[in-house]
Structure formats: structure tokens, C-alpha cells
Amino acid sequence: MIEQIFKMSTENEKEGRKMQKFICIPCGYIYDPKIGDPESGIAPGTSFENIPDDWVCPICFVGKDEFEAVKEK
């Protein structure tokens, strides 16, 4: 498992992908790809785009379509 997570992070870096955070508009939960959502089976290092479409916010249970990218300063 550790090897898979490291491989995913390395592949994201190689491809120039920034691991961007996303915020749930209704409740304010922030999905951080560095942390993932282990309770829902989402491993650390998983970008928001790679989360399954049926994943829901662990706080208010809305779908991915209710999230927006967090603008980094």
C-alpha cells in the first residue's frame, strides 16, 4: 500500500499535477489530497479528480459536484 501511495504521488509530480484542495460549498469540509479520506477508502495522495464519482462529502453527504477548487494564495 505504501508503495502504491508513493507511486501515485510521484506520478502526479512527474506530470506536473498540483495536489489541489477542494471545499464543500454546503458545509465547508476541505478535501485535502495529501490526507485523502481513509474512512471512505480514499488513500492519501489521491487527487480530487481521481476520487470515484459516487464519493460523497463525509460531513454532509453531498456529491463531488458540490465542491469547488480552493484558490491558493
pLDDT tens column, 41-63: 999 999 999 999 999 999 999 99
What pLDDT, on the 0 to 100 scale, is given for residue 5?
44
pLDDT-based confidence at 30, cuts 50/70/90?
very high
- Count CB-CB contacts under 10 A for residue 69: 10
Hey, is 65 helix, strand or coil? helix
What pLDDT, on the 0 to 100 scale, is given for residue 15?
46
DSSP state string for 8-51: HHHHHHHTT-----EEETTT--EE-TTT-BGGGTB-TT--GGGS
Output the pTM of the full model.
0.74
